[in-house]
Amino acid sequence: MSQLITARRAAAALVTAALLVPLAACGKDDAKQDEGAKKSGGSTAEVDLTVLAASSLTDVFKKAGAAYEKEHPGTKLTFSFAGSQELAAQVKNGAPADALVTADTKTMDGLKADAGTPTVIAKNRLVIATGEGNPKKITGLKNLTDSKLKVVLAASEVPVGRYSKQVLDAQKLTVKPVSQEPNVRAVLSKVELGEADAGLVYKTDAASAPKKVDAVDIPDAQNAIASYPAATLKGSQHAAAAAAFVKWLSTPEAQKILQQAGFQKP
């Protein structure tokens, strides 16, 4: 009888041990997940951030986004580029997004009810974009008043359009554009395609198409400085992750990418 009891106890012990092995393994896996969660800021789930950004940031943000995703493997960035005034309208209409970067402080200031406290992450300046080789021999702003030239500007409600009007008004110059475009990239495109002889764009936009356009510098005394504020959006479903990205834009790594593209320090 005692031998039978002993055999039953031994069998029970083997079954218990077999059950404990996977539980121990699960405990180790859970510990690893907890540790990973702590390192990534408390969650191992992937986060997809939508960032609304001014058109002039199109090229540089693609590079910055790749760098950020590599450094933060749990975060995926989706950018939506447009004129700052169009982005502002999207925000006011409740478009789902997590962060916003505009090409001027005025547009951002109009979104105080929808955005967090902004931080200027870069600056820019205007240049005159001409066809490759500058065939019309444009040397400065005064040349843009020539009625024989096809000049294109951004619309006045667009930041680059306001900056353009500011510099032209300051020099008391009257320019009659053949068209007024919804964003700076549309202005650049007109010059690239030869549909315009010249246009006022940001320095960084002209630099993005070195084989298609030339850039004529505008003296500092006649120029305008564009500021780029970035902010989280109050309607974001990923507030912490959005704040982390906005904060990263001011880090040395992000600033290096921006300045290599021709943007100025904030």
pLDDT tens digit sequence for 207-234: 999 999 999 999 999 999 999 999 999 9
Alpha-carbon distance of 148 to 257, in angstroms, equals 39
Section 152-170 average pLDDT: 96
Alpha-carbon distance of 207 to 211, in angstroms, equals 9
Task: Name the band, by pLDDT with cuts 50, 70 and 90, for residue 146.
Answer: very high
Collapse the DSSP code of 200 into the 3-class scheme (helix H, G, I; strand E, B; otherwise coil) and give the result. Answer: strand
Section 75-80 average pLDDT: 97
Task: Name the band, by pLDDT with cuts 50, 70 and 90, for residue 37.
Answer: very low
Which residues does 76 contact at the CB level (< 8 Å), separation at least 6? 46, 47, 48, 49, 69
Q: Where are the domains of the chain?
A: 47-123+226-260, 124-225
pTM: 0.80
Which residues does 123 contact at the CB level (< 8 Å), separation at least 6? 225, 226, 227, 228, 263, 264, 265, 266
Domain covering 124-225: architecture: 3-Layer(aba) Sandwich (3.40)
Alpha carbon separation from 122 to 19, 217, 226, 227, 228 (Å, rounded): 59, 19, 8, 6, 5
User: Radius of gyration (Cα) for the chain, nearest Å?
Assistant: 28
Which candidate, 226, 212, 88, 216, places its Cα nearest to that of 161?
226
Section 2-25 average pLDDT: 42
pLDDT tens digit sequence for 99-143: 999 999 999 999 999 999 999 999 999 999 999 999 999 999 999
Alpha carbon separation from 12 to 9, 16, 23, 24, 74 (Å, rounded): 5, 6, 17, 18, 44
Which candidate, 152, 160, 155, places its Cα nearest to that of 228?
160
Confirm if 59 and 261 have CB atoms less than 8 A apart: yes
What percentage of the chain carries pLDDT values higher than 70?
83
Report the pLDDT value the prediction gives residue 236, as an integer from 0 to 100: 96
Homologous superfamily (CATH) for 47-123+226-260? Periplasmic binding protein-like II (3.40.190.10)
* Topology alike, domains 47-123+226-260 and 124-225: yes
